[in-house]
Structure 1
Amino acid sequence: MASLPEGALMQRAAAGLAYAVIGHLRGRGLGGAYGKRIVLLVGSGDNGGDALYAGALLARRGARVEAWLLSDRAHAGGVAALKAAGGHCVGLDTPPPSGSGGSTSGAFDVVVDGIVGIGGKPGLRPDAEAALALLAGIPVVSVDTPSGVCVDTGEVDGAHVTADLTVTFGTHKPCHLLDPAASACGTVQLVDIGLRLPTPAIESLEAADVADLVPRPAPDGHKYSRGVVGLRVGSATYPGAALLAVSGANTGLAGMVRYVGTASEWVKRHNPEVVGDGQAQAWVVGSGSADGANSALAFARASGVPLVIDADSLRALNGPLGVPAILTPHAGELAALIREDRGEIEARPLHYARLAAKRFDAVVLLKGRRTTIASPDPDTPVRVNTTGTSWLATAGSGDVLGGLIGSLLAAGLAPIDAASAGAWLHGAAATLASAGGPVTASGVAAAISAVIRSLPAVSPLRN
């Protein structure tokens, strides 16, 4: 990096941004840049500079570009480049050009948001809010992050941009992955500009990562060496939870599946491979267990093996369990567990997943649109799962997830890896089974094996 000329990174970012804007216009059926009307919202930071230089590139391709300078400290080189390319700059006290009674929604084809960079605080100043109000209804491309969100936590506090496309540089930022800010990013497009990247505090698995984590049978392996997962789930009230959890576990990832509970006959009728009580390398408890949840947890905990704790068994927790564990609450369950407001947890999932992981000395998988997975080890990056579909919000899907994670845990994965790989596979299976439409939990379970088969070849660089 030291050998790069001054401003080289900004020029790379600006070029990537300009081509992303052109791609966005074409994606909307508007063709390329020529003749298009583009407005830049420019703050005082480097994001404003990126927007200005990108605007200059777009102007040279025939776009009509106008920059609204929301600060008297706009990037001088970027302003000069835009003007030299035929673009125009207006300040805060210059009225909008459309003469349309205070709205410019018909005056531009796209807005480029370069108001606040990654060092900005959550929320927007009144002048930025006013500019956005004038441009309401016009598609927005944000530079690096939507202005006004908290970049490092994914939280929102006050006004912020809601983008159709966010063009980021070097690597994804936490706000691109973590809700609620991730919902404001729209589509996220990553541009490599040659940055040297630090070890992340937040990460997201991709297909190749999951392929490297999924356990593969050794040539001399057998059903016991591949892991035995046990499930103490379901009840007379909720027998379907048992069947769904077992279906999630019985995908071939573990060598054997055991089931203990009141739905035994029904489970074995649909899964003849499943056997009864005995030793296991991991236990799954709680899904649909009703009044038996506490005893299921107590038994599994006494076995001394790793646990997946879901649903009803979460209510029995009051501190660390003394064995490796994965807790799988949704926001409401976590709210009850740690006595916090559900809305607060949904607004700050990163904070509360970390808090619960520390309090219970367990991996916490906080379910949501972007499932957040935190380890009790503060040096382990939090993982955010990005696979899935909104159709996955259906009864029983969490039961399938618990069984799937249990099978990975029994097969030897560390709790953080079992939880995050399980969440990725679960979401990918839902997308496959859904095919863009409704899906049931049973359909998700049935699609897991197909997703595993579709994973890329394991990297020879990893053991």
Structure 2
Amino acid sequence: MRTAFSVETVRAAELELMARVPEGALMQRAAAGLAVVCAEVLGKVYGSRVVLLVGSGDNGGDALYAGVRLARRGAGVFAVLLSPERVHAGGLAAFRGAGGRVVGIEGAEDVLRRADLVVDGIVGIGGKGGLRESAAQLVGAVRESGVPVVAVDLPSGVDADSGEVAGEAVRADVTVTFGAYKPGLLIDPGREYAGVVRFVDIGLGGVPGGGDGSGEGAVEALQYADVASLLPLPTGESDKYRRGVVGIVAGSGRYPGAAVLCVAGALRGGAGAVRYVGHAADAVIARFPETLVSAGPPSKAGRVQAWVVGPGLGDDSERLEDVVGADVPVLIDADGLRLADEAAVRGRSAPTLLTPHAGEAAALLGVAREEVERGRLAAVRELAGRYRATVLLKGSTTLVAAAGGGGAVRVNPTGTPWLATAGSGDVLSGLAGALLAAGLGAGDAGAVGAYLHGLAARHAADGAPVGAHDVAAAIPAAWRDVRGD
């Protein structure tokens, strides 16, 4: 599990650790790791030209001490001081002592034109809001130069706790983060600005307390081993009912494909059986003859361990209400989100998983889509709190928040831009629904489903366009990949 902690938690851990180690030890550890990554990006340090963008905080000190190490290895290192009167004094003295040269902002463009690498140490993890005008202009000059950028701990202009970007921000090729991952490195739009994230251990351990203990972070991302441990596997005693029967209420005369794709995701996701109730039965049976179809209503279709409702449903609120009233886990997507009664969802006793994209989330919250995309973490927490349901917010970074909005939010690390294609969400709904029917909790079903879905898209795309049916077909390959088979 990759865990990201809030700025407040990281700061507290750093203070606790600093009380137990020699003064300046943490900064030296950070600078050493930063210098190593800079050297890797450069390839050849001797004779290279490095420009440090130095702000007033500890990030500026980290950059200066890393510059010392690079200068001692033969690099020509220049430091652009954005706040000369508040620069880290010890770092600046060491930098000058190693032969580093200081230039003012007015001379920055000249050195940038001849640079081989830029190190962003303008603003640290405590920065809020947009960059000041002088810093924003400098960042613009860096972008125009096309020089590779290594960011210190977090790209300047990105909010560490949320990934939000207000105005100009550094677009890094590599971000070197210290002691703990920060949520803004894992959540878009911040994740996009961070580039490749490299972690440097400075001794914070599990972070809370700054030692070897562990604690709940603000954001967590599953990794292969986590997903593999959660995948439901049949045993010698399993039958189709023990493996999980998922009911699907999806599709309509206008959108029969939504039903077909949803069923595809459920079957590929390990469901022992799929019961289909809807107006696209002919299309479903033609493609998947193993599906058990029913004319409905859902409550009369037979026993299921979970329901999926909504993809391509149209205005069939009657069937939606029947499903929402069921005493089994329910996944609500697409048209189901538009039609569902908030009070009815809040009042359910069994788990509920809502799977909106940004536009649907914006409609549920009564805000503009841009507000959701800008503040994805806040939006998914608010929805989970308002509906008392687990919420999977789809997008460039898919987030899963537990019912009520508390605890760590899971961010999905898999996927590809090719996944932005019609019907891919229907496949995800069926896949996550199958995992619900197999007995996974709503949070695990959402997170594991998103992980497999994104991985399947990578397998299917392999650098080329794909359709939603290709993603469904690649789910078994993703499953085998996670399990190492």
Residue of structure 1 equivalent to 2:312: 288
Is residue 438 of structure 2 the alignment partner of residue 411 of structure 1? yes
Residue of structure 1 equivalent to 2:107: 96
Is residue 193 of structure 2 the alignment partner of residue 184 of structure 1? yes
Amino acid at match of 1:311: A
In structure 2, distance between residues paired with 1:150 and 1:47: 15
Is residue 255 of structure 2 the alignment partner of residue 238 of structure 1? yes
Q: Residue deviations 1:293-334, cap 9 Å, x none?
A: x12211212221111111111111232421321111111112
Gaps of 5+ in 2: 1-16, 209-215, 294-300
Q: How many residues align?
A: 446
Residue of structure 1 equivalent to 2:467: 440
Q: Residue deviations 1:342-386, cap 9 Å, x none?
A: 111111111111111111111111111011211223442111112
Residue 300 of structure 1 aligns to a residue whose secondary structure is helix
Is residue 150 of structure 2 the alignment partner of residue 141 of structure 1? yes
In structure 2, distance between residues paired with 1:274 and 1:171: 47
**Does the 8 Å contact 2:384/2:405 carry over to 1?**
no
Higher helix share: 2
**Does the 8 Å contact 2:380/2:405 carry over to 1?**
no
Residue from 4, 21, 26 that aligns with 2:38: 21
In structure 2, distance between residues paired with 1:47 and 1:237: 56
Q: How does 1:70-81 map to 2 (within 5 A)?
A: 70-71=82-83, 72-81=85-94
**Does the 8 Å contact 2:221/2:410 carry over to 1?**
yes
Residue from 45, 58, 75 that aligns with 1:46: 58
Amino acid at match of 1:414: G
Residue of structure 1 equivalent to 2:332: 309
Residue of structure 1 equivalent to 2:138: 131
Is residue 396 of structure 2 the alignment partner of residue 396 of structure 1? no
In structure 2, distance between residues paired with 1:442 and 1:122: 42
Gaps of 5+ in 1: 27-31, 459-463
Is residue 389 of structure 2 the alignment partner of residue 362 of structure 1? yes
For residues 402 and 131 of structure 1, do their structure 2 counterparts lie closer, same or farther at Cα, with a shift above 3 Å needed? Answer: same
In structure 2, distance between residues paired with 1:46 and 1:77: 11
Q: How does 1:81-120 map to 2 (within 5 A)?
A: 81-92=94-105, 95-96=106-107, 103-120=110-127
**Does the 8 Å contact 2:381/2:404 carry over to 1?**
no
Q: How does 1:157-168 map to 2 (within 5 A)?
A: 157-168=166-177
Greater than 6 Å deviation, 4+ residue runs: none
Amino acid at match of 2:363: A
Amino acid at match of 2:330: L
In structure 1, distance between residues paired with 2:111 and 2:28: 29
In structure 2, distance between residues paired with 1:108 and 1:91: 16
Is residue 220 of structure 2 the alignment partner of residue 203 of structure 1? yes
In structure 2, distance between residues paired with 1:390 and 1:252: 22
For residues 171 and 442 of structure 1, do their structure 2 counterparts lie closer, same or farther at Cα, with a shift above 3 Å needed? Answer: same
Q: CA RMSD in A?
A: 1.8
For residues 130 and 336 of structure 1, do their structure 2 counterparts lie closer, same or farther at Cα, with a shift above 3 Å needed? Answer: closer
Amino acid at match of 2:151: S
Amino acid at match of 2:315: D
In structure 2, distance between residues paired with 1:212 and 1:423: 15
Is residue 437 of structure 2 the alignment partner of residue 426 of structure 1? no
For residues 230 and 190 of structure 1, do their structure 2 counterparts lie closer, same or farther at Cα, with a shift above 3 Å needed? Answer: same
Residue of structure 2 equivalent to 1:272: 289
Q: Residue deviations 1:192-242, cap 9 Å, x none?
A: 222131320111111111111111223422221221111011111111111
253-262 vs 230-239, which moves further: 253-262
Q: Residue deviations 1:78-110, cap 9 Å, x none?
A: 112222222122345xx417xxxx554422111
Residue of structure 1 equivalent to 2:232: 215
Residue of structure 2 equivalent to 1:29: none
**Does the 8 Å contact 2:77/2:101 carry over to 1?**
yes
Residue 48 of structure 1 aligns to a residue whose secondary structure is helix
Q: Residue deviations 1:115-158, cap 9 Å, x none?
A: 11111222112232233344332222110101122111111223
**Does the 8 Å contact 1:229/1:407 carry over to 2?**
yes
In structure 2, distance between residues paired with 1:193 and 1:452: 35
Residue 474 of structure 2 aligns to a residue whose secondary structure is helix
Residue 242 of structure 2 aligns to a residue whose secondary structure is coil
**Does the 8 Å contact 1:104/1:134 carry over to 2?**
no
**Does the 8 Å contact 2:151/2:174 carry over to 1?**
yes
Residue of structure 2 equivalent to 1:59: 71
**Does the 8 Å contact 1:364/1:375 carry over to 2?**
yes
Q: Residue deviations 1:395-415, cap 9 Å, x none?
A: 100000000000011111110
Residue of structure 2 equivalent to 1:461: none
In structure 1, distance between residues paired with 2:95 and 2:41: 21
* Identical aligned residues as a percent: 54
For residues 252 and 358 of structure 1, do their structure 2 counterparts lie closer, same or farther at Cα, with a shift above 3 Å needed? Answer: closer
**Does the 8 Å contact 1:231/1:285 carry over to 2?**
yes
**Does the 8 Å contact 1:103/1:134 carry over to 2?**
no
Amino acid at match of 1:122: G
Residue 283 of structure 1 aligns to a residue whose secondary structure is strand
Is residue 160 of structure 2 the alignment partner of residue 151 of structure 1? yes
**Does the 8 Å contact 1:245/1:400 carry over to 2?**
yes
**Does the 8 Å contact 1:154/1:179 carry over to 2?**
yes
In structure 2, distance between residues paired with 1:179 and 1:267: 36
Amino acid at match of 1:416: G
TM-score, normalised via structure 2 length: 0.88
